[in-house]
Every structure is written in C-alpha cells, then in structure tokens.
C-alpha cells in the first residue's frame, strides 16, 4: 500500500489561560511534500510548530508522524522517529566552534542516524560527515570560528545544518528567515530549494513570498484558526489572505 503520510495533524488546539493560541487545526503532509504555514504575528504558527515538534502539549487533537500517534511523546523520542527541526530562539552552543556544534548534533539524532554511525564505526566519520554538511551549506570557511562570531544569517544556516546532519525523515523549519537581510534570505531560499525532494518539509514562515516560493501547498492561519489551504497561487489570490497581508481591513 501507499506509505503513511509524514505528518497528520487533527483538530489540534492549544489554550494558554484565556488565549486560544491554536484552535482546531488539521493538516496532512504527504511523503516528499513541502508545506508552508503562513499568517500574521500572533496567528498561532509558532505554537502549532511547538506542538508538532513536541515542545508544547496540545489541549485538544492528535499528531501522527509516519502513521504513529505521537501526541503525548516528548521531543527526544520524536527525534529518534526522524524529526529534524530548527529553533526560533537559537539552540546553538555560542562558545563552541561551528564544526563542534554540528558534531554534537550528528552524534544525537534519529535511530536512522545512529544506525548510520554504527555502520561507519568511527568518531572521525562524525567529523567527516559534519564537514561535508558544512561544505554543502556554504559554511566551509566558518568551520573553526566560534558561533558567537557568525552573522545572524550564518547562524540560521548552521541550525539547518544541525537539523540535517541527523538524517531526518521530516524537517520542521520555524521561521528560518526571521531577522535575515535580503541577501541572507536569497541564500536561505537556495539552500532549502536544493534539499532532497524526498524529504518532507513543514515550513512555518511569516514571509509570505518566501513560504509560497518554496512549498507545494500552503496553509494560512489567523487568530489560531485555519483560513485556507491550497497551492501557493490559490493562497496568494485568496481574499482573506490578501486582506491580512495587504492590511485592507
């Protein structure tokens, strides 16, 4: 039969005191699909991401990864199931070198990654794989610098390198373009475009142009609720999306 979808979210909700941050969101990400989630500040995108990544427990609804219910599973076992993710607030080791950050990420990660490292045997292979990952993301020249010396854009690239080096089966990106310059955005866009098409990606992004340019399907949310899901063209032309993004209210 057909492979289970990478991700199925059903009726997901999160309430913080009196605030319904996410209200009954459902979505499905097929194997190899790239989906964007857009919406204005406070729409609930980050809360949705945190529930899917396992940082925050939902108030209602369920989350399935590769056909398994992970609604009540914490982040570490989700990583072992193959979740690679970035962090909106940086999770980097500031005083360590760029390479050592990637090596730390390479040693942890999914069961797939650990199986890979077992076949490779040596710690030196962790280093080699980490170097190759930095090369492929254009960070070769930064390998031995400390994270504190990186630009904001390079830090975001490094976070993606750390998510990818664990050989994830699904990649969750949390507003990767936040705070980036136009040039850094272009680099990031190319980096994401060049990722393997077999890797399913959920991209949470405030920047509508970036999100629509990189994904097969997009969901727009506002005030915790679903507004529309469709192709980038359908979402771009949706009257409510136009109102939200052009401020015509």
Q: How far is the CB of 163 from ligand ATP (least distance, A)?
A: 19
Q: Which residues contact 186 (CB under 8 A, 6 or more apart)?
A: none
Q: Which of 45, 78, 85, 217 binds ligand ATP (CB under 6 A)?
A: 45
Beta carbon of residue 17, minimum distance to ligand ATP (angstroms, whole number): 6
Burial annotation 119-155 (CB, 10 A radius, 16+ → b, else e): eeeeeeebeebbbebbeebebeebeeebbeebeebbb
Count the helices and strands in the chain (H runs, E runs): 10, 10
First to last CA, the chain: 47
Distance CA 159, CA 105 (A): 10
Least Å from the CB of residue 1 to ligand ATP: 35
Among 8, 38, 43, 134, binds ligand ATP (CB under 6 A): 43
Among 7, 33, 38, 47, binds ligand ATP (CB under 6 A): 47
Q: Tell me the closest approach of the beta carbon of residue 38 to ligand ATP, in angstroms.
A: 9
Tell me which stretch binds ligand ATP (CB under 6 A): 35-43, 116-124, 133-141, 144-152. Answer: 35-43
Report the distance separating Cα 156 and Cα 151, nearest Å.
9
Which stretch, 4-12, 38-46, 72-80, 195-203, contacts ligand ATP (CB under 6 A)? Answer: 38-46
Residue of 23, 33, 46, 210 that binds ligand ATP (CB under 6 A)? 46
Cα–Cα distance measured from residue 82 to residue 153, given in angstroms and rounded to the nearest whole number: 25
**Nearest distance in Å: CB 105, ligand ATP:** 24
What does the binding site for ligand ATP look like in residue numbers (CB under 6 A)?
16, 19, 21, 39, 41-47, 206
């Amino acid at each position: 039969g057909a492979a289970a979808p990478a991700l199925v979210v059903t009726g997901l909700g999160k309430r913080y005191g009196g605030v319904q941050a996410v209200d009954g969101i459902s979505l499905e990400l097929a194997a190899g699909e790239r989906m964007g989630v857009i919406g204005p500040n406070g729409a609930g995108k980050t809360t949705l991401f945190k529930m899917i990544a396992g940082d925050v427990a939902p108030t209602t609804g369920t989350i399935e990864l590769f056909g398994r219910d992970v609604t009540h599973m914490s982040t570490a076992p989700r990583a072992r199931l193959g979740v690679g993710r970035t962090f909106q607030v940086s999770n980097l080791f500031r005083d360590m070198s760029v390479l050592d950050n990637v090596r730390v990420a390479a040693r942890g990660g999914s069961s797939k990654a650990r199986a890979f490292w077992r076949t490779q045997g040596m710690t030196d292979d962790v280093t080699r794989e980490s170097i190759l990952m930095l090369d492929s993301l254009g960070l070769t020249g930064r390998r031995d610098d400390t994270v504190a010396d990186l630009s904001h854009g390079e830090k975001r690239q490094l976070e993606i390198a750390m998510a990818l080096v664990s050989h994830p089966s699904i990649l969750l990106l949390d507003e990767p373009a936040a705070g980036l310059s136009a040039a850094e955005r272009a680099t990031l866009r190319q980096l994401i475009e060049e990722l393997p098409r077999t890797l399913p990606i959920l991209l949470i992004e405030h920047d509508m142009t970036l999100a629509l340019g990189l994904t097969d399907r997009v969901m727009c949310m506002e005030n915790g609720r679903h507004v529309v899901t469709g192709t980038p063209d359908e979402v771009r032309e949706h009257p409510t999306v136009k109102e939200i993004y052009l401020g015509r209210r």
